[in-house]
A and B are shown apart, each in its own frame.
Chain A
Amino acid sequence: MKLIDVHAHLYLVEGRGEEDKWRLEFSKKYGISVIIVSVLGSWGKRTPTYFPDPEDFSSGNRKLWKFIKSHEASPKIYGYAAVNQIFTREAIEEIKKGIEVYGFVGVKLVAPVPCSDLSTFPIVEKAIEYNVPILIHTFHKKPQKLWGQNPSDSSDIAKLAEMYPEAKIIMAHIGGGGDWEYALKAIKDNDNAFLDTSGSGCDRGMIEKAVRIVGENRILFATDLNITTGIAKFSEARLSDAQREKIAWGNAKSIFGGVEF
């Protein structure tokens, strides 16, 4: 069965080469043929990971583009244009460059503000114009404070999806921490809100419940930073063959127009 990882990362910074190597090795070993990757700027070395300045996120995207160009082996790599929407003008420019010059296939939002903030709206409009998905870093029913980030929660995702029904929004990592059951209920009526299966949270029954509440047509296989956990979680989920195919690659195929599967 094909396996498409729609939420993966490469570091491409000094000192993290081994982790990048594992990413590619494990993807290949476990049959992930396509990974859709973002590089979050300098990963906190120059400006904060979840609040990169334009130079930082632009540099990360450029590095990813160069890496993709030089990478010929399996898995096949596609890119997201990772941006900080607070710098709206620069973010829009970066998306344009990412899609038109680098050949990226989606937009990745980090977490300077929740996605219901009005700074996000022009970004979503740009993504709609290019007909590409937007992957949004999300914490599910967040506590009062999270160190170093101000992420969206599932209610922000639902709000944005409702405002822009033509947008293809991916709520990142259902196992990304917090009350994931709440998150499923929060987005269940938003047909243009998808979720990915990644995240360090690996409660048994998570994917099965996602299928029950949100439906198998809006779930996308992913691993984020936890490759083996992501693979084991998906392989252990009690799914029918048809459900498994859709989550493994079928749904990704339907929303990522620019990706060759």
Chain B
Amino acid sequence: MIDLLMVLGHWPFRRIDDVNITDFIKVMDKNNVEKAMVININGAFYRDASESNIELMENLKGFEDRFIPLGTVNPLYPAWKDDLREMVEKFGFRGLNLYPNYHLYSLSGERLEELWEEVRSLDLCLSIIVSFEDSRQRHPFDVGPVSESEIIGFLRKHPELKLIVHNASYGMARDIFLSNPNNTNYLFDMTFFYDVPIGETIRFLKMAGENRVCFSSFYPFRDYKIGIMKLKETGISNDSPVFGDNVRRFFQ
């Protein structure tokens, strides 16, 4: 099984325990998860986001075979291209997690065109975390979620780029999918689907298909078993691509 999102680093608005890589390994082993995609959330908050890539790389030392790290850059910050190259060529990261809501830019901005060119030439997979918390409990200092129109617009403009949309609600995922039903270059996880009765999870799987969605734990923000249990109760089989093959295909 592959977990599409685990989060290292410090979330400033709530105490979260067991945030070390060894804690991650423990919980992955307990749940028979062979690999996990991991980001360093400090990248959203550091002025120089690239420092979070160095931290992530240091944290993963000795455990590289268990994780798929996604780094970050802030495309409005000086020398971001150098940071991107360092992340790929020196650290070996194959994915780029963007924080448009924290770094205050729009995915449709002209300045981003350069970034998309780099992403294309480096053959990177993109990732966006719509929100880290249920919006009903948002701290006044936290930012709002990435809007669905941003994501829909991006997918229409750049259908050739690979994108993972994390933590979209059922309604948002449905709207994104219905706006781009034929583009096979993007995936959802269903972490924020756990907030609705199971009927909506089943409906989305039927509508978008098992090739479009992935299991993610969003650990340590959330309890590990919640995602697994919800997906299994939809009736999908243990060897569904949702539990790993979709991610493998994406990174081939």
Which positions in A face B, CB cutoff 8 Å?
Answer: 18-19, 22, 26, 139-140, 143, 177-181, 200-205, 225-229, 231-233, 235-237
Q: What residues of B have a CB within 8 angstroms of the CB of A236 in the complex?
A: 223-226
A19, A139, A202: the one contacting B194 at CB < 8 Å is A202
Say yes or no: A205-B17 contact (C-beta < 8 A), given A178-B137, A236-B226.
yes
Name the residue of chain A whose CB is nearest to the CB of B225.
A232
Q: What residues of B have a CB within 8 angstroms of the CB of A204 in the complex?
A: 16-17, 219-223
Question: Is B134 positioned at the interface, with any CB of A under 8 Å from its CB?
Answer: yes
Subset of 30 A-B contacts with CB under 8 Å: A18-B199, A19-B197, A19-B199, A22-B198, A26-B233, A177-B137, A178-B136, A178-B137, A180-B137, A200-B134, A201-B137, A202-B194, A202-B222, A202-B226, A204-B222, A205-B16, A225-B197, A226-B195, A226-B196, A227-B198, A229-B230, A232-B223, A232-B225, A232-B228, A232-B230, A233-B223, A233-B226, A236-B225, A236-B226, A237-B223
Interface residues of B in 1-49 (CB under 8 A from A): 14-17
Are A229 and B194 interface neighbours, CB within 8 A?
A: yes
Q: What residues of B have a CB within 8 angstroms of the CB of A140 in the complex?
A: 137
Question: Is B229 positioned at the interface, with any CB of A under 8 Å from its CB?
Answer: yes
The distance from the CB of A101 to the nearest CB of chain B, in whole angstroms, is: 31
- Nearest 8 A-B pairs (CB), nearest first? A200-B195, A236-B223, A177-B136, A232-B226, A232-B225, A232-B229, A228-B229, A228-B230
Chain A CB within 10 Å, residue with most, of B133, B219, B225, B226: B226
The distance from the CB of A8 to the nearest CB of chain B, in whole angstroms, is: 12
What's the interface size class on B, roughly? 20 to 34
Bound Cα distance from A225 to B228, whole angstroms:
18
Bound Cα distance from A177 to B195, whole angstroms:
10
The distance from the CB of B21 to the nearest CB of chain A, in whole angstroms, is: 17
Are B196 and A200 interface neighbours, CB within 8 A?
A: yes
Q: What residues of A have a CB within 8 angstroms of the CB of B228 in the complex?
A: 232
Are B195 and A201 interface neighbours, CB within 8 A?
A: yes
Interface string of B136-176 (1 = CB under 8 A from A): 11000000000000000000000000000000000000000
B134, B219, B226: the one contacting A229 at CB < 8 Å is B226
Q: What residues of B have a CB within 8 angstroms of the CB of A181 in the complex?
A: 14
The distance from the CB of A148 to the nearest CB of chain B, in whole angstroms, is: 15
Are A177 and B233 interface neighbours, CB within 8 A?
A: no
The distance from the CB of B172 to the nearest CB of chain A, in whole angstroms, is: 15
A-B contacts at CB below 8 angstroms, number = 75
Are A202 and B223 interface neighbours, CB within 8 A?
A: yes
Q: What residues of A have a CB within 8 angstroms of the CB of B226 in the complex?
A: 202, 228-229, 232-233, 236
Are A205 and B15 interface neighbours, CB within 8 A?
A: yes
The distance from the CB of B33 to the nearest CB of chain A, in whole angstroms, is: 15
Name the residue of chain B whose CB is nearest to the CB of A139.
B136
Bound Cα distance from A164 to B133, whole angstroms:
35
The distance from the CB of A14 to the nearest CB of chain B, in whole angstroms, is: 15
Bound Cα distance from A200 to B230, whole angstroms:
12
Chain A CB within 10 Å, residue with most, of B198, B224, B228: B198
The distance from the CB of B133 to the nearest CB of chain A, in whole angstroms, is: 8
Are B233 and A200 interface neighbours, CB within 8 A?
A: no
Are B137 and A179 interface neighbours, CB within 8 A?
A: yes
Q: What residues of A have a CB within 8 angstroms of the CB of B225 in the complex?
A: 232, 235-236
Q: What residues of A have a CB within 8 angstroms of the CB of B137 in the complex?
A: 140, 177-180, 201
Q: What residues of B have a CB within 8 angstroms of the CB of A178 in the complex?
A: 136-137
Chain A CB within 10 Å, residue with most, of B136, B196, B219, B220: B136
Name the residue of chain A whose CB is nearest to the CB of B231.
A228
Bound Cα distance from A200 to B198, whole angstroms:
11
Interface residues of B in 183-212 (CB under 8 A from A): 194-199
Chain B CB within 10 Å, residue with most, of A140, A200, A237: A200
The distance from the CB of A177 to the nearest CB of chain B, in whole angstroms, is: 4
Known: A143-B136, A201-B137, A203-B14. 20 other contacts (CB 8 A): A19-B197, A19-B199, A22-B199, A140-B137, A177-B134, A179-B137, A201-B134, A201-B136, A201-B195, A202-B222, A202-B226, A203-B221, A204-B219, A204-B223, A226-B195, A226-B197, A228-B233, A232-B229, A235-B225, A236-B226
